[in-house]
Amino acid sequence: MTTPSSLLHGKNVGVIGFNARPIAASLKKEGARTYVSDYWGDLDLPDVSDECITVLTPVMGMRQRQPLDLPVYQSLIDNFLFLTEKVELDYVIIGSGFDDHIEALQPIYDSGLLIGSHTSHFKKARDLSIVTSMVSEEQCKIPQRQEFHSFQELVEKSTEISYPYLIRPLYSGGGSGIRFIRHQKDLLRLVKARQEENEETAQVVQEYIRGQDFSCSVLSTGNDALAVSVQAQLIGSPAAGRNCDFAYCGNFIPSGLDSQTEQKIMEISEHLSVQLGLQGSIGLDFVVDELSTIWLMEINPRIQGTLEMLEIAGNISITEQHVRAVHQDLIEEIPIFHPTVKMIVYSRRNGKVPDLSLFSNTFDRSPTGVFVNRRDPICTVINQGTNIQECYHTTCSIANSIQREVRPVYPQS
């Protein structure tokens, strides 16, 4: 509900992100006017936008999949600048899509409108070699990483690396492009496939940490920080339509962690946020292994995918608190979060999307009848309940019902 005290009430706010709809929805609740540059073009995006522009605009029952002339992050920025050319904005807020390309946002930083961490602080947070010097082994560990400039270099030096490990693109997000390498046969198979696809880009080999995935949501002024919540992450979830890979599939709260480990994660997150001078709403990803050792995986110095789940779970506006934190104003009391599950539903087959408005608690809804490929996201399901088991069961039930309604498309005889 909009309150007169909201910093966002009546403001013109620009939003740029790979999935910008949740941020726009939060801003709308606070009474802002929203101007949104988004990648997907989901059916419910116009509902929370005064004006919007998308990269994958659905036309004639399909999403435009032609190769882009520019990288996605640059397309998002160029679209935004075009959309807002004649709009007098008060703020600009970014979501995912720029974590390793923050320099592309320099024109918006130069305008003084972007609310969030400075580019120099952003870059430091993304560089784990810098972050490593800011924490002790008693606080947390960071997986070993090694960069290779080509697959040929990787194969030549593969005997020096202990299995199992992960291979990931130098720049990626949401678990995209990560592969699990158990032995050299896996490596050679992957290299052959990538070379056949002419994908000869820099790769990172990362130590594989077996454990459970978590994230911590923090509000930071740059001088002080408050960890708001720790939530478990759904990664590669079969219930979400993935096959135990590394794709981000959602979150749930409460995390299920013991209080001591959860408190330690919050303390580490607050410490790093201040050390790095980060501002606004930020997220840190962790893995906790079977010995309860905490491993820091990455820092996302911007609003995270947990935003909408946290707003449904507790009486809080993440976008409002994001702006307030940048203005050196932290909330005094952490809200109580009720059991809530967020699940991104990925299609298990090629087919046409059903009318998702017929299913409860769905967001980021792909347009009715649009063709999706296997592993494409269809929508997001968010459920709140009295306990986490009930929430998860209900969410899985809705996800399965949606999967059954994705109609396969057969070739014409």
Examine residue 139 and state whether it is found in any structural domain, yes or no: no
Is 412 within a domain? no
Q: Do 284 and 298 share a domain, yes or no?
A: yes
Residues 79 and 152 in one domain: no
Residue 47 lies in a domain: yes
**Residue 357 shares a structural domain with residue 250:** yes
The two structure tokens encoding residue 187: 């490596």
Q: Is it the case that residue 306 has pLDDT exceeding 90? A: yes
Kindly state whether residues 178 and 235 are assigned to the same domain. Answer: no
69 lies in some domain:
yes
Mean pLDDT of the chain: 91
Same domain, 34 and 78: yes
Return d(Cα 101, Cα 123) in angstroms, integer. 9
In a domain, residue 238? The reply is yes
Residues 325 and 367 in one domain: yes
> What Rg, from alpha-carbon coordinates, does the chain have?
21
* Per-residue burial over 147-186, b = 16 or more CB atoms within 10 Å of its CB, e = otherwise: ebeebeebeeebeebeeebbbbbebebbbebbbebeeeeb
Which residues 6+ apart lie within 8 Å of 249 measured at CB?
A: 234, 235, 236, 237, 240, 242, 343, 344, 346
pLDDT of residue 312: 97
Q: Hey, which residues does 42 pair with through a beta bridge?
A: none
Q: Which of 115, 135, 160 is the last residue of a domain?
A: 115
- For CA atoms 73, 75, 79, 85, the dihedral sign is positive
Are 107 and 165 in a shared domain? no
The per-residue pLDDT for range 192-220, each reduced to its tens digit, is 877 766 665 678 888 999 999 999 999 99
* Residue 99 within a domain: yes
pLDDT of residue 1: 41
Last residue of a domain, one of 207, 230, 245: 207
Domain-located, residue 3: no
Edge-to-edge strand list for the sheet holding 203-207 = 145-148, 203-207, 165-169, 179-181
Note whether 359 and 242 are same-domain residues.
yes
Q: Which domain holds residue 369?
A: 211-405
CATH number, domain containing residue 80:
3.40.50.720
- Domain-ending residue, one of 207, 237, 254: 207
CA dihedral in degrees (7, 12, 17, 19; nearest 10)? 80
Lowest mean pLDDT segment, chosen from 10-24, 36-50, 193-207: 193-207
The reply to whether 99 and 19 lie within a common domain is: yes
**Domain holding 221: CATH number?**
3.30.470.20
Residues 256 and 309 in one domain: yes
Helix (H) or strand (E) holding 371, with range, is strand 371-372
Q: Structurally, how many domains does the chain consist of?
A: 3
Q: Are residues 160 and 108 in the same domain?
A: no
Q: What is the pLDDT of residues 270-282, one digit of tens each?
A: 999 999 999 999 9
222 and 318 part of one domain: yes
Per-residue pLDDT of 341-367, as tens digits, reads 999 999 999 999 999 999 999 999 999
Residue 127 lies in a domain: no
